[in-house]
Every structure is written in C-alpha cells, then in structure tokens.
Amino acid sequence: MSAEKTIFLGTGRRKTSTARVRLSEGTGKLTANGSDFETYFSHENFAKQAYRPLLTVELKDKIDVDVNVVGGGVTGQAGATAHGIARALQKLNPELRAALKKAGHLMRDPREKERKKPGQPGARKRFQFSKR
C-alpha cells in the first residue's frame, strides 16, 4: 500500500473557462483533461502560458499537475489553467505568494465579452445612419 499524497486544489477562471487544478509532489507530469499539456493545448505557446506559474517559482520538475478545464476556447482555457495553478501553489507554500503576485499570476483577468445590445448589430457597432 502506497503512502497518501497531499493534494492541493485551486480554481482558475478566464473569460468563460474554468479550470479545476490538483497539485501533488511528483516528477513534473502535466495533464489537462487526461492528456499531456503539449497535446491538449494546440500550440506550444498556450502550453507555456498554462504552466508559467511553475516556471516562476521553479517547481516544474517537482510537482505533478492534473487539470480539468471546461468552457471557452484555447486562450481562455490556458489562462484559467495558469490562474488555477498559481492559486494551488499558494496553498502548497504560502511563501510563494510574493513571487506569484509580483509576476501577476494571482490576478484574475476580468475581461469578458460584452453583450450585444438591442437595436444594433453588435455590442458597440451601430447600423449605418442615413440622414435622408
């Protein structure tokens, strides 16, 4: 019977995406929805953005990350994953908060899509005005 691992949880959000993150000590295995980060996030830049908090605190090869991410697109999911990892790292070691905060990983990005208004074709665009 193996010894129980301590698991730290964190929730991250961006746009309409939500990421539920589970951190545990290990060898640096990164999985998102059951597949590897590089496979799940279509472009390598999205994968790098998702695990950037681990690089900030230099724990990429010492912590296993398992993420369940839903909603939105690839950009929102990568941002939500990074936010969730940062919040879980803060629970793992409260001393990491200063470094994560300085790098901007703990701040939730508040930008959302603006709703379409009635009487116009989009959120801000207006129908063409004709004087006569």
Tens of pLDDT along the chain (132 residues)? Answer: 456 779 999 999 999 999 999 999 999 999 999 999 999 998 999 999 999 999 999 999 999 999 999 999 999 999 999 999 999 999 999 999 999 999 999 999 999 999 999 999 999 999 999 998
* Bridge partner list, 63: 25
Q: Is residue 22 a contact partner of residue 65, using CB atoms and an 8 Å limit?
A: yes
Distance CA 88, CA 85 (A): 5
Q: Is residue 10 a contact partner of residue 87, using CB atoms and an 8 Å limit?
A: yes
Rg (CA), the chain: 19
pLDDT value of position 18: 97
How many CB atoms neighbour CB 9 within 10 A?
Answer: 12
pTM: 0.89
For the chain, the residue count is: 132
Domains of the chain: 8-103 (3.30.230.10)
Q: Is residue 79 a contact partner of residue 17, using CB atoms and an 8 Å limit?
A: yes
Token pair for residue 112? 């959302």
